[in-house]
Structure 1
Amino acid sequence: MTNQEGVTILVTGGAGFLGQHIVKELMEQEVFPVKEIRSFDIQPFKWHHGLHPSKNSHKLNHIEGSICDPAAVTKACENVDAVIHNCSCVAFGAYPNRKSIRAVNVDGTENAVNACIEQNVECLVYTSSFEVANDLKKPSVNASETSVTVPPINPILCVYSQSKYDAEIMVLRANNKALKNGIKLRTCALRPCGMYGEGEHILTTNLGYFINAGVAFRIGEPSGKIQFAYAGNIAYSYVLAVNSLLRPDEETDIGGEAFFLGDDTPIYSIGETVAQFAKALVAETVLWIVNCQELLISGVSEEMSPF
């Protein structure tokens, strides 16, 4: 670790779902001292409900900027010790915006790598995805980093998954690249599974539409299973990754490696997983209705929404 006063860490996509969990974990962890945490995002930073840190909130500085702007990314990396590149364009469906996905996920990652080299950033942790190992022809069961391979050209991957794979390869190949000051850049990629927690909006919002419409549905074969994890647990992995890259150990060197992330959340079938979220949303909706009724009775007017 080069700075005895504490490290300065930049989190791209820091205002988003996982980004805020990472920022909070960096504030509350006691693995290494932190001098400053910079959030870099195209949107303003506003803490998700229930996610306010218990300490060190004064160490957070938010920078509004686009990962697609090389100059802005380079400026944000000035005097930074480690970058957690978490910014991403997540898009699924039949007609995703291919141009935006490539611009953010691939070109944006290239901007982050170049900025690290230009500004002598010693550590780069990349948020990849377990989707990079998605092979519909050969389902992964109890898979590990060594048992799963992804070919350079995989027609099975969707546009989003392919962009994350291409960016991951770029980051891992940047490991041990020389910085301007002669020190070598150290990188790794983390592949989170599906996540739940404060600030999650993609799954819960879509489920909310179905629940409000009274629509019953079933997703996937009963035998197929999927893993989800709490975003806070996933975020703590970034603390450990940064610490390992800044304090390299020959026996546990993670430079140039990719890791799947999960926790001990029970693994259900896809249908059971969705059902768990649906039950929680129904309970939240009932609580929201009760709160609204109490507000109306007390004569208080407040705009509220469960989704």
Structure 2
Amino acid sequence: MHLSENEGIEGRSFVVTGGLGTVGSALCLELARRGARQVRSLHLPSASPSEPSPLHSSLRQAGVILIHGDVTKKKDVDKALRGAHCVFHLASFGESGKDTLQAGRVHDTNITGTCNVLDSCREFGIRRLVYLSSYNVVFGGKEILNGNEASPYYPIDSNPDPFGRSKCIAEQLVLKTNGLPAKSKNGAHLYTCAVRPALVYGPGEKHLLRLVSLAKLGLLYYKIGDENVKTDWVYVENLVLALLLASMGLLDDIPGREGQPVAAGQAYFINDGSPVNTFEFIVNPLLRSLDYGVPKLRMDLKQALIMSRVCWFVYMLLFPWLGKKWLPQPFILPPEAYKLGVRHYFSILKAREELGYIPLVSPRDGVNATVSYFQEKKRRELDGPTIYAWLFVMLGILAIFCAAFLPPIGPLYFNYWIHIFVFRSVSVIRLVFVLAVVLHVGEGMYAYYLARKVDPENSKGWFWQTTALGFTSLQCLLKRARSKNE
């Protein structure tokens, strides 16, 4: 397929569901850059904080219309899609972490939401729908080497997670809707296709944010699988390119193919073109650049699955609180263990031949851009010690307080006598506690003074964190000050 880079984009109206995600926002900006007449983003109100983020600002500056709504509500979908020429359906839920465990919401968003989008497209006579699918429609934990679009759908009842099952159902609904006439009887037909991306990396990608958070806390110890385990990754800009090419492949007025779009009813695997080992490719370089410890121990797939199933069980017991921000993300879940520990990669030959897809950003450049983003993000945010420092300091202060001021009864009995053995008297224990509090407050005040010079936006955060953790926090701030002066 040989078309101009703006074919089917200039002067047209587009809707991107899930337009505030990493891929969705990049797609909205690229559509605006290529001359789209109008670009609308449909996203949940929770994705739009009261204070505009840089993401909101950049989208608004590009002229993107931000629409609050939920794809599970037909009226919201109708509001967003009315009058559009092409729809990119990216909105989904449950790809990783705690979200994976909320099966009801996963199916509601990914299946019901997709049905609503399909119905609205036919009601309004929209001609093109590009669906962002997933490798999970064919991969469920069994090895696949250089697979292609002929690979069968993974059996729904055997898929290890709700997300994979829901995406499998939704993709088949999308592809089976291809070619159906509009309900308005205006002669238009809806043409659909599905893009199946590999693991996505790039600035702000949420899976990498979770990984960096674990490393920051000192909880990322293990590599899963051996160095021969390889899988595909795709840089966000390469995926955006594939989505745009897929939309062009649905045009039904191409000379020589009138009424027969090349991509109609088709699915395409999209990646950077070369399988890699996840830890060597992205995890280790990213963590080293942030000065966090890289995982050194190795865990085989069987051990990883045992740990992931324990995590699954524990978090299912906490199901009522899965949506709460205070509940941390699980270390690993079974679908993630399979993705990291089982070789699976696919050919992009079909996308290359039918859509003209060739990755524009090399893996090296993609990793460098990702690393630069996270380095800058770390410089803007409050840094801190590992979770072990938090536990050591907070439990230590609590133990001294209990020994100094609470009666030695029950579980406090042994704590009291240990402190008496060390400090010899209650008066000395109380003096030590008071001195520790004074020292921490003094360190917090110094941290505030220093942060006003080297990190003014987070000066209050540095004060409170250093007051709580003392020198373990102050050490991080001193390190930042030294790096800024170098």
> Does TM, normalized by the shorter one, top 0.5?
yes
Write the mapping of 1:161-176 to structure 2, written as runs, cut at 5 A.
Answer: 161-176=164-179
Match for residue 86 of structure 1 among 90, 104, 107 = 90
Note the aligned Cα RMSD (angstroms): 3.3
Q: Which runs of 5+ in 1 are unaligned?
A: none
CA pair 39-145 structure 1, distance change in 2 beyond 3 A = same
**With structure 2 as the length reference, what TM-score do the two structures score?**
0.55
Which residue is equivalent to 1:296?
Answer: 451
Per-residue displacement from partner, 1:258-298 (whole Å, max 9, x unpaired)? 0011124x532233243233234437569946998998363
Task: Note the C-alpha offset of 1:300.
Answer: 5.8
CA pair 98-205 structure 1, distance change in 2 beyond 3 A = same
Counterpart Cα distance in 2 of 1:127 and 1:297: 45
Per-residue displacement from partner, 1:144-187 (whole Å, max 9, x unpaired)? 213x2115535034211111110000000110011022311000
Matched residue type, 2:457: E
Task: Note the C-alpha offset of 1:79.
Answer: 0.6
Bigger mean CA offset, 219-228 vs 241-250? 241-250
Task: Note the C-alpha offset of 1:73.
Answer: 0.2
Counterpart Cα distance in 2 of 1:300 and 1:278: 22
> Secondary structure of the equivalent of 1:62?
strand
Counterpart Cα distance in 2 of 1:154 and 1:48: 42
Matched residue type, 1:176: G
**With structure 1 as the length reference, what TM-score do the two structures score?**
0.84
Q: Contact 2:32–2:38 (CA<8 Å) still a contact in 1?
A: no
Q: Which runs of 5+ in 2 are unaligned?
A: 1-5, 292-370, 383-446, 462-486
> Secondary structure of the equivalent of 1:259?
strand
Counterpart Cα distance in 2 of 1:4 and 1:222: 43
Matched residue type, 1:98: A
Q: Contact 1:27–1:57 (CA<8 Å) still a contact in 2?
A: no
Match for residue 222 of structure 2 among 217, 232, 240 = 217
Which residue is equivalent to 1:270?
Answer: 278
Counterpart Cα distance in 2 of 1:287 and 1:172: 40
More helix as a share of residues:
2
> Secondary structure of the equivalent of 2:147?
coil
Per-residue displacement from partner, 1:79-134 (whole Å, max 9, x unpaired)? 10000000000244697111000000000000000010111111100000112111
Q: Contact 1:11–1:23 (CA<8 Å) still a contact in 2?
A: yes
Which residue is equivalent to 1:242?
Answer: 247
> Secondary structure of the equivalent of 1:246?
coil
> Secondary structure of the equivalent of 2:238?
helix
Q: Which has the larger radius of gyration?
A: 2
Task: Note the C-alpha offset of 1:212.
Answer: 2.8
Q: Contact 1:9–1:81 (CA<8 Å) still a contact in 2?
A: yes
Task: Note the C-alpha offset of 1:57.
Answer: 4.1
Which residue is equivalent to 2:103?
Answer: 98
CA pair 168-47 structure 1, distance change in 2 beyond 3 A = farther
CA pair 136-215 structure 1, distance change in 2 beyond 3 A = closer
Per-residue displacement from partner, 1:33-70 (whole Å, max 9, x unpaired)? 41100000002286666x947xx944311100011110
Name segments (4+ residues, structure 1) moved above 3 Å.
45-49, 56-59, 91-95, 151-154, 247-252, 280-295
Which residue is equivalent to 1:186?
Answer: 191
Q: Contact 1:145–1:260 (CA<8 Å) still a contact in 2?
A: yes
Q: Contact 1:48–1:199 (CA<8 Å) still a contact in 2?
A: no
Matched residue type, 1:123: R
Bigger mean CA offset, 110-119 vs 275-284? 275-284
Counterpart Cα distance in 2 of 1:270 and 1:4: 35
CA pair 48-130 structure 1, distance change in 2 beyond 3 A = farther
Determine if the alignment matches structure 1 residue 38 to structure 2 residue 40.
yes
Bigger mean CA offset, 98-107 vs 194-203? 194-203
Task: Note the C-alpha offset of 1:17.
Answer: 1.5
Counterpart Cα distance in 2 of 1:286 and 1:248: 45
Write the mapping of 1:1-307 to structure 2, written as runs, cut at 5 A.
Answer: 6-29=11-34, 33-42=35-44, 43-44=47-48, 52=58, 57-92=61-96, 96-137=101-142, 139-146=143-150, 148-151=151-154, 153-179=156-182, 180=184, 181-213=186-218, 215-247=220-252, 249=254, 250=257, 253-264=262-273, 267-273=275-281, 274-282=283-291, 284=374, 288=378, 296=451, 298=453, 301-303=456-458
Matched residue type, 1:195: V
Counterpart Cα distance in 2 of 1:219 and 1:4: 43
Bigger mean CA offset, 278-287 vs 242-251? 278-287
Q: Contact 2:9–2:36 (CA<8 Å) still a contact in 1?
A: no
Matched residue type, 1:268: V
More strand as a share of residues:
1
Matched residue type, 2:210: T
Q: Contact 1:20–1:47 (CA<8 Å) still a contact in 2?
A: no
Q: Contact 1:132–1:165 (CA<8 Å) still a contact in 2?
A: yes
Counterpart Cα distance in 2 of 1:4 and 1:271: 38
Q: Contact 1:9–1:83 (CA<8 Å) still a contact in 2?
A: yes
Q: Aligned pair count? A: 296
Q: Contact 2:126–2:188 (CA<8 Å) still a contact in 1?
A: no
Task: Note the C-alpha offset of 1:244.
Answer: 2.0
Counterpart Cα distance in 2 of 1:19 and 1:106: 19
Bigger mean CA offset, 112-121 vs 285-294? 285-294
